[in-house]
Amino acid sequence: MIDCLCLAIIGLAWGLAVGGGLVAFITVLGIVPRLADLTKTANRLINYEAAVITGAIAGALVSLLEPRFGLANFFVVFIGLGCGIFIGLLAAALTEVLNVFPILAKRVGLEGKTHTLLWAIVLGKVIGSLYHWIFFVRLGSL
Amino acid sequence: MEKKVYIRLRSRHWSALYDTLHLRDIAQVITEGIAEAEITRLPVCKLTKKDRTIRVIDAMEIVRLLQKIYCDVDVQVIGPIQTIVYIQSKRKRAHPFLFAAVWLLLFIGAGLAVMNFHEDVSMQGVHIKIHEAITGRKVERPLWLQIPYSVGLGLGMLLFFNHVFKKRINEEPSPMEVEMFNYQENMDRYISVNENEAWKNND
């Protein structure tokens, strides 16, 4: 009984730390305010918070309990797209990507061409990702 | 009547080598008791080879100049206390080959970075798990999930940089434009302290 209680306390503490870290991570990157800005729904920010929290809990449950919903392939496409958009926002929000541009533009004299360079990064990510899933993963298993 | 001059310096000005800068180039001026046109036409400085690429004009230089010409003038400086003059040489735009090289570098680098990221967080395993949770079938390569994921990755980045909604829903600047602005501001701040002759002479 006492060891179960101990485990529960450790689990709770663990979850608190990880949950705090996750929220801090998403806050630092500023993805939520960015999306709210883009869609002019800053007044609904509290709902977005709730969405992040319920999403995190749902993710935790799926990864721990391993449920099987048995839905059609169709849903997988939507979830994949959603995952991708979120990771894309994450990748774009990492300041390293942003800091490269002003320096490149100044040093190499490419001011006004930053949009084209942005496309290089976007296409690089998409094609790199496709290559990874379609070919690279199979190379590893050979 | 008392002579009064209000001066608001521009924070930056772009100019060519050997240009003579007049007050109207680098400042907005309002006058009392003196003709405005007369003041704005005053030459402030001539850009020389010695200035290299940057010349900082301090507000004190302007005040000194005006007081030398009109001895009983009251000069009020409003806003920025120096103008940074960027001297543009006749250097041509970046070579197309150079541009292509940078483009390819970014393209390959971005692709490599995303592959490293996927390996780092075991994305393949997560995708197999998600696929199994939703459809109930375990597959080795859940491409139905992964190809939309890859497309979404690009969409998310474009969304972040405000490419999708630009000029349609809002006119707010993209984070990249903000970042470029911040970079320029920081450079200006550094230059205004380190390249300012007015401070160098006093040290």
Residue B72: which residues within 8 A CB-CB, separation 6 or more?
Answer: B2, B3
Residue A35 has pLDDT above 80, yes or no: yes
In a domain, B199, yes or no: no
Per-residue model confidence as pLDDT tens digits over A52-68: 889 989 988 888 888 88
CB B188 within 8 A of CB B11: yes
- Is the ipTM higher than 0.85? The answer is no
CB contact under 8 A, B156 and A106: no
> How far apart are the C-alpha atoms of B176 and A34, rounded to whole Å?
13
Q: How many domains does chain B contain in total?
A: 2
**Which residue has tokens 């999306």?**
A35
Is residue B164 very low, low, confident or very high in pLDDT (cuts 50, 70, 90)?
low
> How far apart are the C-alpha atoms of B112 and B137, rounded to whole Å?
30
Is residue A86 very low, low, confident or very high in pLDDT (cuts 50, 70, 90)?
very high
In a shared domain, residues B102 and B54:
no
Closest CA to A83 of B158, B137, B130, B134: B130
Residue B190: which residues within 8 A CB-CB, separation 6 or more?
Answer: none
CB B130 within 8 A of CB A73: no
In a domain, B201, yes or no: no
CB contact under 8 A, A104 and B102: yes
The Cα-based distances of B75 to B70, B79, B132, B152, B175 in angstroms read: 10, 13, 76, 59, 39
- The pair phi, psi for residue B41, each rounded to 5°, is -85, -5
Domain boundary (B50, B65, B90) is at B90
- The pair phi, psi for residue A19, each rounded to 5°, is -60, -45
In a shared domain, residues B86 and B100:
no
- Average pLDDT for B91-108: 81
- Average pLDDT for B35-60: 84
In a shared domain, residues B49 and B101:
no
CATH of the domain at B57: 2.60.480.10
In a shared domain, residues B100 and B183:
yes
In a shared domain, residues B127 and B170:
yes
In a shared domain, residues B105 and B172:
yes
Of B165, B176, B183, nearest to A118 by CB-CB distance is B176
Residue A37 confidence (pLDDT) = 79
Residue B166 confidence (pLDDT) = 57
Tell me which residues of chain B, numbers 148 to 177, contact chain A at a CB-CB cutoff of 8 Å: 148-165, 169-170, 172, 175-176
Domain membership of residue B125 as a residue range:
96-187
Closest CA to A53 of A90, A27, A29: A27
Q: What residues of chain A lie within 8 A of the CB of B156, using their CB?
A: 84-92
Residue A65 confidence (pLDDT) = 86
Is residue B149 very low, low, confident or very high in pLDDT (cuts 50, 70, 90)?
very high
Domain boundary (B90, B120, B151) is at B90
Tell me which residues of chain B, numbers 78 to 117, contact chain A at a CB-CB cutoff of 8 Å: 91, 93-94, 98-99, 102-104, 106-115, 117
Is residue A9 very low, low, confident or very high in pLDDT (cuts 50, 70, 90)?
very high
In a domain, B111, yes or no: yes
CB contact under 8 A, B160 and A31: yes
Residue B24 confidence (pLDDT) = 87
In a shared domain, residues B106 and B71:
no
In a domain, B197, yes or no: no
More reliable by pLDDT, A101 or A49: A49
What pairs with residue B45 in β-bridges? B21
In a domain, B194, yes or no: no
What is the rounded (10 degree) CA torsion for A94, A98, A100, A104?
160
- Sort B95 into a burial class: Cβ within 10 Å, 0-12 / 13-18 / 19+: exposed
In a shared domain, residues B175 and B108:
yes
Residue A115 has pLDDT above 70, yes or no: yes
